[in-house]
Every structure is written in C-alpha cells, then in structure tokens.
C-alpha cells in the first residue's frame, strides 16, 4: 500500500463564498472538524474504500463538518446546522462562521436538513436554547418518519 497522509483539520468559524450563475450566493460555513478515531459511535464503512484509495489512514482520520448558506432573493437558506460542540471544542463554530458573513440565526428564513445525523442536525440547539427559530424547516419525510440511528441521538 502507498504512503498515508494525515488530513488537514479545518478550523471552525470560517466562511467561503462561491460565485454561481443567477441570483444566488452560496457560502460554505465551517463548523469545525471531527477526529473519527475518538468517536466509535460514528457509523463507519461508508466511504472507507475511497479514503484508503486516497491514501488516508483510517485510524487517523478527521472530517470537516460544514453547512451551506444560500442567499436567494427574499430568502436566506441554511443547509444543515452543524454538530454544535457536543463532541468537543473542534466543533460548534457555525455561529461565528455565520456572523463572519454578516448574519445571525434570526436572519435564517429556511432550514434544509439533508439528514438527521448529529453532524448535520445537532447544531439546531446550543445547550438548552433552540437556534434558528424564525425559519421554515425542510427535510425528506422518510428521514423524519424513519428510525433515527443512535449516532443522531447522541
């Protein structure tokens, strides 16, 4: 097998705008990173073969946790909400990233959750406080009505 590489860990709280054709702006918001070996509850196996082919050491992998902000005429859509800091200080930086581009949680008009794993949905709350209250929520009904994996509940 070839040489393995260690992933660069993305500092949270950063934002990067992407220019697209049309009346939209897409901004990637970094919530931080997750060191996979520290969290055995994270479902593994999906994508492991791709990581190995990329020369990654499966015993020393980190993944970036991101959300996306879509600025549309009359709407501000947040795609996913990050992980919060429930797994440590390397995560939970979505709000500073949002503020870095000039927005607060109250400005979000719509929230689109791709699925209900914790690294996509746990950032809906901070402690006991619900964030993003003034918004419509969108998700696949099968995701909402189906069984939620234990990883999403922790």
Contact between residue 100 and residue 59 where contact means Cβ atoms under 8 Å apart = no
**Average pLDDT of the residues of the chain:** 76
Q: DSSP per residue over 31-61, as a string?
A: EEEEEGGG-TTS--STTHHHHHHTTB-GGG-
Chain segment 37-80, per-residue pLDDT in tens: 666 655 556 667 777 777 777 777 777 889 999 998 889 999 99
pLDDT at 108 over 80: yes
Which CATH superfamily is 15-153 part of?
Ribonuclease Z/Hydroxyacylglutathione hydrolase-like (3.60.15.10)
Please report, for the chain, the start and end positions of each structural domain, with discontinuous segments joined by +. Answer: 15-153
Q: Which two tokens stand for residue 53?
A: 């082919």
pLDDT at 132 over 50: yes
52, exposed or middle or buried, with CB in 10 Å at 0-12, 13-18, 19+?
middle
């Amino acid at each position: 097998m070839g040489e393995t590489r260690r992933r660069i860990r993305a500092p949270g709280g950063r934002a990067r705008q992407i220019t697209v054709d049309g009346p939209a702006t897409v901004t990637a918001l970094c919530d931080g990173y997750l060191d996979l070996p520290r969290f055995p509850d994270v479902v593994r196996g999906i994508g492991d073969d791709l990581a190995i082919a990329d020369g990654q050491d499966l015993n020393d992998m980190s993944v970036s946790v991101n959300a996306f902000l879509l600025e549309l005429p009359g709407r501000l859509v947040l795609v996913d909400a990050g992980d919060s800091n429930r797994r440590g200080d390397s995560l939970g930086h979505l709000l500073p990233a949002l503020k870095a581009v000039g927005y607060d949680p109250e400005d979000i008009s719509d929230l689109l959750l791709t699925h209900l794993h914790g690294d996509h949905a746990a950032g809906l709350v901070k402690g006991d406080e619900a964030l993003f209250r003034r918004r419509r929520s969108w998700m696949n009904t099968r995701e909402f009505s189906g069984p939620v994996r234990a990883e999403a509940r922790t």
